[in-house]
Amino acid sequence: MTVREATPADDAVLAGMLQAIFEERWNRPWPHPEPTPAQLENKLVLLAEEGDEAVGFAFGEVQPGPVAHVNIVYVVPERRREGITKALLQEFAARVRADGVEHMTLDVDVSNEVGRIVWQRLGFVEWARRLTVPLASLEEHLTGAATGESYASLHVQTDDVEAVQAAAARYLPRYGSTGHGRVSEPRNGWVAVYDELLDRDRKARDRVASELSNAVAAVVCAIGVESGHVVRYALFERGSVVDEYQSVPEFFGPLPPGDVVALSANPTVVARLTGAEPARVRAVARTASSPDELPAAPELLAEIAEVLGLEGAGRG
């Protein structure tokens, strides 16, 4: 195998490999560009070949610092794990060192676990994170349109009101409440807990729900409206989250695809813990890319609470 600098005669091959990597690994929240020779202009482009066959390429540039930044390293799928990535990087490093470069950077998609492991084994360490947000979402947050009222409740699957009262009095103050909360009488096999802490602090809400689940040895559902637009619930069993739902998974910012899927309701788990009909859970607890695609949050909360058998969800 040889590694050489690409020439204009390689443009078609490089465009094909660019298209391949875009199709395989493009998780940015905007469409990938069409591969063109212009994307490689003024870059150091290296091509790995086996005979007359192109098996991989890398390109990047020297930036002020001086620092060398690698934009892409790609190896065709059938030739991976053969040291081609190392050969490309070794040649790239040798060439940029001549320009006085002592440090190299690259970007890796947060969902590319294999890639992250490879780079870490080669000595790369994380020093920053690049974040993104749709302009419409940013503008909503900047103007306050996305910061509507939040409110929530905890529902403990028990009829033992005294046990819930004792646990709430113990744990609510521990996580920042100024009181002991308001505890309802049993309704449909659930005892509800309300408190200003649960309304304003989602992390504290989940911690209290986990503590209650352990203390009372019961299933606990934390459910509410976030920022006036999003419905969220988390089901706890033996202190651990076993199902989590958020009506607009990326409302608060982009997420890896796996996290988006994880925020969809799991009808099988919900049915086991609450007795709800899986088909109804599937029909009502749906997700969308925007609140506009779903019923208004208070309405959706009421629909989901009814399916789960939770009376007085949210404000009570």
Last residue of a domain, one of 130, 162, 190: 130
Domain hosting residue 297, numbered range:
139-308
> Do both 112 and 152 map to the same domain?
no
Give the burial string for 229-251 (b: 16+ CB within 10 Å, else e).
bbbbbbbbbeeeebbbbbbbbbb
> Do both 53 and 82 map to the same domain?
yes
In a domain, 216, yes or no: yes
List C-alpha distances in Å: 295 to 84, 229, 263: 52, 10, 18
How many domains are there within the chain? 2
> Do both 72 and 145 map to the same domain?
no
> Do both 102 and 208 map to the same domain?
no
At 130-174, the pLDDT tens digits run 888 777 767 766 665 555 789 999 999 999 999 999 999 999 999
> Do both 97 and 168 map to the same domain?
no
Tell me the HSE value of 72 on the side-chain side, using a 13 A CA sphere: 23
Which pLDDT score, from 0 to 100, does residue 142 have?
A: 66
> Do both 21 and 147 map to the same domain?
no
At 226-264, the pLDDT tens digits run 989 999 999 999 999 999 999 999 998 888 889 999 999
Decide: helix, strand or coil at residue 201: coil
Decide: helix, strand or coil at residue 87: helix
In a domain, 28, yes or no: yes
In a domain, 247, yes or no: yes
Q: Specify the range with the lowest mean pLDDT, choosing from 15-19, 54-58, 139-143, 287-291.
A: 139-143
Q: DSSP for 213-247?
A: HHHHTS-EEEEEEETTTEEEEEEEETTEEEEEEES
> Do both 261 and 227 map to the same domain?
yes
Which pLDDT score, from 0 to 100, does residue 275 have?
A: 95
In a domain, 313, yes or no: no
> Do both 8 and 100 map to the same domain?
yes
> Do both 124 and 173 map to the same domain?
no
CATH code at position 66: 3.40.630.30
> Do both 150 and 281 map to the same domain?
yes
> Do both 110 and 173 map to the same domain?
no
> Do both 144 and 19 map to the same domain?
no
In a domain, 316, yes or no: no
In a domain, 315, yes or no: no
In a domain, 92, yes or no: yes
Which pLDDT score, from 0 to 100, does residue 219 have?
A: 98
Of 279, 264, 263, 273, the closest CA to residue 309 belongs to 273
Which pLDDT score, from 0 to 100, does residue 137 have?
A: 67
Both structure tokens of 74: 């790609």
